[in-house]
Amino acid sequence: MTDLNRRLFLRGSAATLLGCSAAAHPLLTTVTLAAGAPALGENRLVVVILRGAMDGLDAVQPLGDPLFTRYRPTLGVQTGAQTLDGYFGLHPNLAALLPLWQKGELGFVHATSTPYRDKRSHFDGQDILEAGTGLDVPQAEVRDGWLNRMLQVVPGLTAETAYAVGREALPLLTGAATVRNWTPDLKLALTPQSRLLLEHIYHDDDLFRDAAQEAMELAAEMDLDRMSGETMQAGAAKAPKRLADLDKLAQFAAERLRGETRIAAFSLSGWDTHRAQRGSLGQSLTGLERLVLQLRSGLAGDWDRTLVLAMTEFGRTVAENGTRGTDHGTGGAMLLAGGALKGGRVMGRWPGLAEADLYDRRDLMPTTDVRHWAAWAMRGLYGLDRSVLENAVFPGLSMQDDPGLLR
């Protein structure tokens, strides 16, 4: 099996699947690099997956829509949004980003979503978001994420080119292209002999062999106390600890991005706000705000060549639920930041909030596909050929018109 096939599919049924439909399957289009597709150059891309479904309507509030307050008696206007453009307002916990908005370094896409509909399951929604596929591809057969597939078409990658940062698995960046992983405070002490012996015993087990190489490379030394401590208590972390953790991640990423690294990806959880959303969403937005600001200061001069894309699996219900929260919805919002961005605007077509305009009469109607924005971002940053983006990175996507994301 070729490398390309191997990385795209494998899960027991791979052989049959390839046998019967390889020719027709969009994911298996042979990837030939479009002539002149450049190496990544100087531009940086940071992708942040917001796990749990961020409420786009609370982050970027359609204050100009008279229906908005009716749907959101305690959320929304009551939170004290800061006006962005006369129509949309910014959640107060993102207010520290307003100077970026004014300089055009911050923007949003509203009413956007993956092709996923109806079941509103976080887990399926995230799978599709990170796989970057359409609904025609069974998720069980997807073996890599769209950001990794983008790297697969770029020649001359080094191990340092891309980093998955943090403790959570990141399917987005998983796949055949070499990617480094980094988590704070996890180091490993091994004598050269132990390393050799471990390599030896892992040799015949692909999974262990692949993981061990990186585990050992990442490691300089480890002492037991590094396993302890607050960073390990993921879910239990209180806000300040969480922010301290975020700082570490952002600082590490910024440092790498100032060097050879061009792509970094994170995930932030804590967006599933079924009740008492004001408190919980506020905390999560503060984290996102902090992440953007830390990246900006950490990247210094390189911020001008950076784009940050923060995306989530779907939006939440337009109406508040009975417990001052919101339930799983469809159309959501995406945050974009960076000196490379032509921001200062809320992009995407606003569908309106009249009941007839809603999806399923309850959710914001998605008017664009999140992959459209990610594809144009990558085309803008790296000049990737449109056919490569539409076939290999986001199989089956039609990119539509250029939204002119970058300066």
Interface with another protein (CB under 8 A): 11-13, 51-52, 73, 118-124, 167-169, 181, 183, 186, 188-191, 193-194, 197-198, 200-205, 207-208, 211-212, 214-216, 218-219, 222-225, 227-229, 232-236, 269, 272, 274-275, 321-325, 327-328, 360, 362
| Shortest distance in whole angstroms from residue 277 CB to another protein | 11
Helices and strands in the chain: count of H runs, count of E runs: 13, 12
| Shortest distance in whole angstroms from residue 340 CB to another protein | 30
Is the CB of 118 or the CB of 401 nearer to another protein? 118
Residue type, 348: G
Is the CB of 164 or the CB of 384 nearer to another protein? 164
Measuring CA to CA, which residue among 215, 272, 257, 248 is closest to residue 54?
272
Cα angle for residues 200, 204, 210 (degrees, 5° grid):
80
Instruction: Indicate if the alpha-carbon torsion angle 216, 222, 224, 226 is positive or negative.
Output: negative
Is the CB of 48 or the CB of 375 nearer to another protein? 48
Residue with tokens 């590490």: 252
Is the CB of 223 or the CB of 260 nearer to another protein? 223
Is the CB of 31 or the CB of 188 nearer to another protein? 188
| Shortest distance in whole angstroms from residue 120 CB to another protein | 7
| Shortest distance in whole angstroms from residue 57 CB to another protein | 17
As a whole number of angstroms, the distance between CA 265 and CA 399 comes to 23
| Shortest distance in whole angstroms from residue 39 CB to another protein | 25
| Shortest distance in whole angstroms from residue 6 CB to another protein | 14
Is the CB of 248 or the CB of 342 nearer to another protein? 248
| Shortest distance in whole angstroms from residue 31 CB to another protein | 23
Is the CB of 124 or the CB of 247 nearer to another protein? 124
| Shortest distance in whole angstroms from residue 263 CB to another protein | 17
Measuring CA to CA, which residue among 252, 271, 253, 357 is closest to residue 311?
271
As a whole number of angstroms, the distance between CA 82 and CA 60 comes to 9
| Shortest distance in whole angstroms from residue 276 CB to another protein | 9
Is the CB of 275 or the CB of 407 nearer to another protein? 275
* Strand (E) or helix (H) holding 386: helix 386-388
What CA–CA distances, in Å, run from 238 to 26, 152, 153, 161, 235?
A: 45, 38, 41, 33, 8
Query: Could you tell me if 143 and 175 are in contact, meaning their C-beta atoms sit under 8 angstroms apart?
Result: yes
Considering just the CA atoms, what is the radius of gyration of the chain in Å? 21
Kindly tell me the burial class for residue 228, based on how many C-beta atoms sit within 10 Å of its own C-beta (0-12, 13-18, 19 or more): exposed
Please tell me the chain's helix, strand, coil percentages from 3-state DSSP, rounded to the nearest 5: 40, 15, 45
Is the CB of 87 or the CB of 123 nearer to another protein? 123
Is the CB of 198 or the CB of 293 nearer to another protein? 198
Phi first, then psi, for residue 304 (nearest 5°) are -65, -20
| Shortest distance in whole angstroms from residue 23 CB to another protein | 24
As a whole number of angstroms, the distance between CA 261 and CA 256 comes to 5
Residue type, 36: G
Query: Could you tell me if 329 and 362 are in contact, meaning their C-beta atoms sit under 8 angstroms apart?
Result: yes
Partnered with residue 61 across adjacent β-strands are: 89
